[in-house]
Amino acid sequence: MEFALEVRDLVKTYAGGVRALDGVGLGVRRGEIHALCGENGAGKTTLAAIAAGRLRASGGSVERAGTAGFVPQHRQLVERMRAWENVVLGREPRRGARLDAAAARERVRALSAAYGLPVDPDARIETLDAGAQQRVEILRELAREPALLILDEPTAALAPAESAALFATLRALAARGVASLIVTHDLNDVAAHAERITVLRAGRVVARFEGGTDVRAIARAMVGGAVPALADRVPRATAPCFEIRGLVAGDGAGAVRGLDLDVRAGEIVGVAGVEGNGQRALADAVAGVLRYRGTQRLDGAELAPGDPAARIAAGIRTIPRDRQREGLVLDWSLSENLALGDQRRAPLRRGLGLDRRAARERARAVVERFDVRAPSLDARASALSGGNQQKLLAGRALAETPRLLLACEPTRGIDVGAAALLRSRLIEARNAGVAVLAISLDLDELFEIADRIVVLFRGAAAGEFARDAFERGALGAALAGLDAR
């Protein structure tokens, strides 16, 4: 068989009548890197899950040349176990009734060396960064010797250097005849690395491209027209708003070590950096969930460390970095989720009671303004696609005009159209006088929205660039910790 995977006329209808796939055909050749692109809700993840054998199709056929490995978007690892334990879980080498730990470690070490995926077999998953966790997950799948590796949004949580390493691995696999099917929003990755590209929209294949195709042509096919332009930046006077002095927070490699930072009302300050240079500690310290030394002032008043409620009351709102773990109660309805954080203030609070009608009105307004695509306000947050969940969180943070908006990876893992909408809303908030602190691994995003970019390196500011001085070379040097001046 020429194909590692061949699907024909695939149909998937979910309970409730939502048709996620509507007659999709797709062939992944042996040893090729194939990209599957599309907006949120286009059916990509459904197709990937069916191809991997994790979900049953309602109609059509799926043929695989061998087994298929699947690396889902959200890690599926046992956090408290070690890397080698996760890799062999379910297929443990035995000696009699006992687990042969030495053999298992050796197998993991051999796999790791063979595929160029550096992993410490004895590290606990919870201590590893996103890139290393993903490598563990890929090793686990490779241990089954698949003919095809399916990766859902593999670069969403990775720093640029880690993405490059991932694609090097995929190319090495391809050379050995192992095909990859990558589900992704990142069109630059697609154009640079994929040999063929299939674009889905609304459950159908709308275009097929060869590698090297112009990114804009792929984007047009995805959104079914031109990519929406961003909101205009209105020139405006800024005023002092939020200041950080001598911030020390967190521990280990990702700590913040003496950071000074100002965010003025009416500007977007982007924080760039390679993952693990203190972004998480900075975000948590500003959100009030991490203790710190140093000072933070909002409009001149010093904020107490470690009191999220006081910060919300002072007008700080957050788009958290991890929408499922930090942002949403997945079991709850849209309207309950949108009340979270403002439950102690009018109009949602009335005496001791929570005004459910006010909560619904607010939800209706947010859903409309942020184009959240959901069956109803009573739908569960878990039923929404990643992009719509992200719109929900941004909408919640901007439901009223905050003083300071902390936006962590505001468009990670979501499609071009939704990302453009959210970036426009951030710019509009800036135009309205909000101080916006945007922490993002995506440099292109910061180039689009930021008035200033501060580069974070080993927990301190390693360079600052005004909008008219954005330049990849100098920024890249600062990101790598080289002196930019």
Partner 1 sequence: MKRGAWLPALVLVLAGAGATLLAGANPLNAAVELLRGALGGPQPLAETLVQTASLLFPALAVAFALRAGFFNIGADGQAVAGGLAAGLAGAAWPGAGTAALLAALAAGTLAGGAWGALAGALRGRFGGSEVIATLMLNVLAGLLASYLLGGPLRAPGATGPETAALPESAWLPVLLPDSRLTLALPLALALAVALQFVLTRTVYGFELRAAGKAPEVARRAGVDLGSLAFGTLTLSGAIAGLGGATIVTGILHRFDPALSPGYGFIGIAVALVGGLEPLGVVLAAFAFAILQSGSLTMQAFAHVPKDVVALLEGLAILTLASRRALVARAPAR
Residues that bind partner 1 (CB under 8 A): 287, 289, 308-309, 311-313, 318, 320, 325-332, 336, 339-341, 343-344, 349, 352-354, 356
The greatest distance separating any two alpha carbons of the chain, rounded to the nearest whole angstrom, comes to 74
Asked if 196 and 208 touch (Cβ cutoff 8 Å), the reply is yes
Per-residue b or e along 80-114, where b marks 16 or more CB atoms closer than 10 Å to that residue's CB: eebbbbbbbeeeeeeeeeeeebeebbebbeebbee
SS3 258: strand
Nearer to partner 1, 295 or 382 (CB): 382
Nearest approach, Cβ of residue 57 and partner 1 (Å)? 15
Nearest approach, Cβ of residue 281 and partner 1 (Å)? 15
DSSP, res 230: P
Nearer to partner 1, 327 or 459 (CB): 327
Nearest approach, Cβ of residue 343 and partner 1 (Å)? 5
Nearest approach, Cβ of residue 341 and partner 1 (Å)? 4
Residue 340 half-sphere exposure, CB side, CA atoms within 13 Å? 21
Nearest approach, Cβ of residue 426 and partner 1 (Å)? 19
Nearer to partner 1, 203 or 341 (CB): 341
Nearer to partner 1, 52 or 338 (CB): 338
- 2: exposed, middle or buried (Cβ count in 10 Å: 0-12, 13-18, 19+): exposed
Nearer to partner 1, 313 or 469 (CB): 313
Q: Where do we find the tokens 């300071």?
A: 404
Nearest approach, Cβ of residue 187 and partner 1 (Å)? 31
Per-residue b or e along 441-459, where b marks 16 or more CB atoms closer than 10 Å to that residue's CB: bbbebbbbbbbbbbbbbbb
Nearer to partner 1, 161 or 310 (CB): 310
Nearer to partner 1, 341 or 395 (CB): 341
The continuous run of DSSP H or E covering 68 comes out as: strand 68-71
- The Cα–Cα gap between 396 and 342 comes to 9
Q: Where do we find the tokens 């286009």?
A: 42
Nearest approach, Cβ of residue 267 and partner 1 (Å)? 25
